Each structure stands twice: as C-alpha cells, then as structure tokens.
Structure 1
Amino acid sequence: MKATVLIRPKEAILDPQGEAVGEALRTLGYAVTSARVGRLVDVDLEVDDPAEAEEALAAMSRDLLANPMIESFTIEIEDGA
C-alpha cells in the first residue's frame, strides 16, 4: 500500500525557510501573504488494511519522521482502486 506523510512546522513555530520563500514569491510579483515549508515522505507498506497502514504510519511519524514538539503531520493513503 502506498502512502504519503506530509510534515509541516506547527503554526506557532517560526519558519525561516517559509518566510524566505514567501518573500521571494512576493518579489516575483505573486500575491502571497505567507508560505510554510515542510517535507513529504512517500512510503510503500506491506499491508493491505488502510486502518493498519494509518496506525503504522502514525507510529512511524511520531517515532522518527516528525519532531512532535515543533511539527505536525498528516497521512494520505493512496486509494488502491
């Protein structure tokens, strides 16, 4: 099963990289009020049950992929249809 974990800085955390991207976009003439920069992790799992996959990915995210003190994460599981 294929899945994606999106990891972003929490709203209360400063994001210098996002600020730099937002400023660069404004300099280029884009009407951007803010930007946040995160990371994306694609994962192939050896499970067939979406609930099991989500549980495993949440554990992986808490244990390794995200720093829960300063980052939040969302999980997207690819529809096998």
Structure 2
Amino acid sequence: MKARVTVTLKNGVLDPQGKAIEGALGGLGFDGVASVRQGKVFDVEMRHTEAAAAQAELAEICEKLLANTVIEDYAIELM
C-alpha cells in the first residue's frame, strides 16, 4: 500500500522560507500570490494491506521521525 505524508508548519509558526519564496514570486511579476507556506512531502510504500494498520504505523512514524509535532502538522493520504 502506498501513502503520501505531507508535513507543514503549524499556523502561527514563522516560515522564513515561505516568505522568501513569496518575495521572489512578487519580484518575478506573480502579483496574484497572497502568501506561501512551505512543507515536506514523503511518498512511502507500506507492506500492510489493511488501511487501518498502515494508517496507524504511519502516524507513529510521523510522531517519532517525520514531523516535529511541536511546530509541525502532518497529513496522511493512503493511495
């Protein structure tokens, strides 16, 4: 089973890289962009065949390794 994990900064946490991208886009003439937040995407292939087992293990992986849950949120999408 394949999954996509998206890790993003929590609302209220400063995102200097997102701000830099936002500024660069404005400098390139993309005036329609109001704001940018950056994050990370992980594509993971699981051995589990049951969605519940895969979801549970991925949540544990996120909590222990992929996300700093103090400042980041994560979302798991099974594919």
Please give the range of the TM-score, normalised by the shorter of the 2 chains.
over 0.9
Q: Structure 1: 5+ residue runs without aligned partners?
A: none
**TM-score of the aligned structures, taking structure 1 as reference length:** 0.92
List aligned pairs for 1:5-20, cutoff 5 A. Answer: 5-20=5-20
Unaligned runs of 5+ residues in structure 2 are none
Q: In 2, Cα distance between the equivalents of 1:12 and 1:62?
A: 20
Q: Where do 1:1-81 residues align within 5 Å?
A: 1-30=1-30, 31-78=32-79
Structure 1 stretches of 4+ with a deviation exceeding 6 A read none
Percent identity over paired residues: 42
RMSD of equivalent CA atoms: 0.7
Compute the TM-score of the two structures, normalised by the length of structure 2: 0.95
SS in 1 for 2:77: strand
> What is the aligned length?
78
